[in-house]
Structure 1
Amino acid sequence: MSESTPELVIVGVDNAAFAPLLEILEERGSVSAERLQLLEVQDSDVEQQVFAKRNIPVQSLEKFTFTAEQVVVLLKAGEAAQAALDTAEKAGAWVLDTAGNTRGDDSVTLVHPLINSDAIATAERRVLTLPVAGAAMVAEALFPLRDQLRRVEIQLNQPVSALGKSAVDAMAGQTARMFSGQDVDIDPAIGQRLAFNQLSSSEALLASGHNISELALIHDLRRLLGDTVAVDACINTASVFHGQLANLSVALSEDIDLEKVRALLKNGARLQMAERPSAEDAVGGETTLIGRLRQSLLSHRQVNFCAVSDNLRKDLAMNCVQIVHLLLKNY
């Protein structure tokens, strides 16, 4: 690649999504090793990473100099990441937030590569954000029905990796101790055991009974699908490492022909029909599996089906790479 090609800067090497992101970047040749910078907070003990058969050092986030010739991907949340976002934006870099640092800020453009990538050209700021993984998957699953879509209720079973790398490590440790007949330490941030369990909510509840992640999913979906679509959601956490499954109850504007709905879903971008999809089926893949399509017994205008995908590889890493590719090539 030419030296005039912008650098790609990834903030948050110690993140559950980092490995699949680096893997896809290398598979697709999106950036050369010479134009890749890896950052982590100063006190993190992270070793150098291998990319395209080269060792890439992990630099201190606090000491790094951002420039206008960079595309910055934030995999990390928190004060250090927020400070990096502000500094990078002031320097003129493009910033892609994947970790919710800009949640609630409508001046930041929400971009899904298959639904509204053209929004980059008219972005108010050089700061973009990805939808949360659950919203990214559900938006893809619903997009073929968008012309008739009126209401959707979502029951999302998220994996432990949706809670971050520390939760994955915690569940792995709990599983090993349980198999050894040892007592299990409970993560105080979650307050419940992750291994061999299913949580009605992994977060504190708000006055409405929802949690923050549910409201984030609803907010992102409405920004992608439009304010005319009524959305409600419940997120459970299942005791699996990777792969998310959503049961969707969808109300349409008129009585439906189930075979027509099946044909629309079958032709949707990155959608693949399956009779009984499971999270295991989706892990490692780059499509959303759609199955158990049926007409509701409650209404002739309502259909029910499930959607399954790899929450890290497909709905975060792959979407991120596609947006990064557009920024590096066109902006």
Structure 2
Amino acid sequence: MTETSRELVIVGVDSAAFAPLLEILEERKTVQPAQLRLLEEEEGVADPQVFANRSIPVQSLEKFTFAPEQVVIVLKSGEAALAAMAAAEASGAWILDGADNTRGDESVTLVHPLLNMAEIGRAERRVLALPGAGAAMVAEALAPLRDQLQAVEVILNQPVSALGKGAVDAMAAQTARMFNGQEAEIDSAIGHRLAFNHLSSSEALLASGHNLSELALVHDLRRLLGEEIALDASINTASVFHGQLANVRAILKEDADLEQVGALLRNGARLKMSERPSAEEAVGGEETLIGRVRQSLINVRQVNFCAASDNLRRDLAMNCALIVHLLLKNH
């Protein structure tokens, strides 16, 4: 079977990550238009999509027949997505879960294209999962220091797009209403206004005081960096559409040598040093911005720094495209 005879199937055209993924697939010529299949739950709910100057129809997920020569990207969650994944796996296709459908399933291989791509060859099943965008960014930023790490605390400021396209649309509507002097509607699922706000948590809290996304971030980081590193995380939601920023506190096994830490970070793959990283500066880019590297005033073994990246284009779409390229070429 040749690479060009394979098909790439994307489930979830209405996902926030779909547009940047399609853009990257076209830029990198990962597939030809004839190889691309787009699916949504119901036929006719999404308009045809333009890819490489070709119009690609959006087909019905329920009517679609999966096949072993396909690589299936799942960008949406829910019962229909789970049913599609089960059907695709039964057919022998490769599946890449980009929507946390397989969260907690240890038989699914978590893959970061820079950190553990070789795990694909050892996968128990033909089902792979992408780490969450926050975990992907933080793990990549910490990778140059991995051998020195004892404990890490992450405070992630995620954008509204991390909550999905519905949240992006809701914040846009709230913003428009407020600019027109009207009262903004509060999202009943979140319980707070998204526009012009900064949420300590966009989810219900568990008994520990964490939310589910924070525990998922810790879980992904453990799988990517190693179980021996102590980890904790907080996730705030900032009133911005795209671009994430994390404050990272890393406790090293020995007293911090800032010169050495800086050199390791400067040489890290897809990392770029910036004096004062911002989410806005990172949006549209293909690197994680690292800056404000400093020794803690509390602990001589602790290094604090800031990381910022484009959560959709870089940490989801680009990582997804890199994995898909390998699957189409070698698996």
The 5-angstrom pairing of residues 1-331 of structure 1 reads: 5-42=5-42, 45-331=45-331
Query: Which amino acid counterpart does residue 30 of structure 2 have in structure 1?
Result: S
Contact 1:153 1:250 in 2 (8 A): yes
Contact 2:218 2:232 in 1 (8 A): yes
Contact 2:42 2:61 in 1 (8 A): yes
- 3-state SS, counterpart of residue 175 of structure 2: helix
Query: Which amino acid counterpart does residue 181 of structure 1 have in structure 2?
Result: G
Mapped to 2, the partners of 1:18 and 1:297 lie a distance apart of 43
Cα deviation digits, residues 281-328 of structure 1 (max 9, x gap): 000001000000000011111100000000000000000000000000
Instruction: Flag structure 2 segments of 5+ consecutive residues without an equivalent.
Output: none
- Offset of residue 5 of structure 1: 2.6
Contact 2:3 2:328 in 1 (8 A): no
Contact 1:68 1:94 in 2 (8 A): yes
- 3-state SS, counterpart of residue 263 of structure 1: helix
Number of equivalences: 331
- Offset of residue 210 of structure 1: 0.4
- 3-state SS, counterpart of residue 186 of structure 1: coil
Normalising by structure 2, report the TM-score. Answer: 0.99
Mapped to 1, the partners of 2:329 and 2:43 lie a distance apart of 34
- Offset of residue 187 of structure 1: 1.2
Q: 1:3 to 1:283 in 2, by over 3 A?
A: closer
Mapped to 2, the partners of 1:310 and 1:180 lie a distance apart of 30
- 3-state SS, counterpart of residue 155 of structure 2: strand
Query: Which amino acid counterpart does residue 321 of structure 1 have in structure 2?
Result: A
Cα deviation digits, residues 33-71 of structure 1 (max 9, x gap): 000000001167210000000000000001100000100
Mapped to 2, the partners of 1:325 and 1:206 lie a distance apart of 38
Instruction: Flag structure 1 segments of 5+ consecutive residues without an equivalent.
Output: none
Mapped to 2, the partners of 1:237 and 1:41 lie a distance apart of 29
Mapped to 1, the partners of 2:44 and 2:151 lie a distance apart of 44
Contact 2:4 2:31 in 1 (8 A): no
Mapped to 2, the partners of 1:183 and 1:313 lie a distance apart of 32
Mapped to 1, the partners of 2:107 and 2:258 lie a distance apart of 39
Contact 2:138 2:307 in 1 (8 A): yes
Query: Which amino acid counterpart does residue 28 of structure 2 have in structure 1?
Result: R
Cα deviation digits, residues 213-250 of structure 1 (max 9, x gap): 00000000000000000100000000000000000000
Mapped to 1, the partners of 2:137 and 2:198 lie a distance apart of 21
Contact 1:5 1:328 in 2 (8 A): no
Mapped to 1, the partners of 2:2 and 2:266 lie a distance apart of 40
Q: 1:202 to 1:68 in 2, by over 3 A?
A: same
Query: For the aligned residues, what is the CA RMSD?
Result: 1.1
Contact 2:47 2:57 in 1 (8 A): yes
Query: Which amino acid counterpart does residue 229 of structure 2 have in structure 1?
Result: V
Query: Which amino acid counterpart does residue 146 of structure 1 have in structure 2?
Result: R
Mapped to 2, the partners of 1:4 and 1:33 lie a distance apart of 11
Contact 1:102 1:129 in 2 (8 A): yes
Mapped to 2, the partners of 1:35 and 1:2 lie a distance apart of 12
- Offset of residue 105 of structure 1: 0.2
Q: 1:306 to 1:68 in 2, by over 3 A?
A: same
Mapped to 1, the partners of 2:189 and 2:257 lie a distance apart of 47
Mapped to 1, the partners of 2:236 and 2:3 lie a distance apart of 46
Mapped to 1, the partners of 2:6 and 2:132 lie a distance apart of 26
Contact 2:158 2:236 in 1 (8 A): yes
- 3-state SS, counterpart of residue 62 of structure 1: coil
Cα deviation digits, residues 251-271 of structure 1 (max 9, x gap): 000112101100000000000
Detail structure 1 runs of 4+ shifted over 4 Å in the superposition.
Answer: 1-4
- Offset of residue 3 of structure 1: 7.7
Contact 1:273 1:290 in 2 (8 A): yes
Cα deviation digits, residues 150-184 of structure 1 (max 9, x gap): 10000000000000000000000000000000121
Query: Which amino acid counterpart does residue 21 of structure 1 have in structure 2?
Result: L
Mapped to 1, the partners of 2:184 and 2:4 lie a distance apart of 53
Normalising by structure 1, report the TM-score. Answer: 0.99
- 3-state SS, counterpart of residue 193 of structure 2: coil
- Offset of residue 4 of structure 1: 5.4
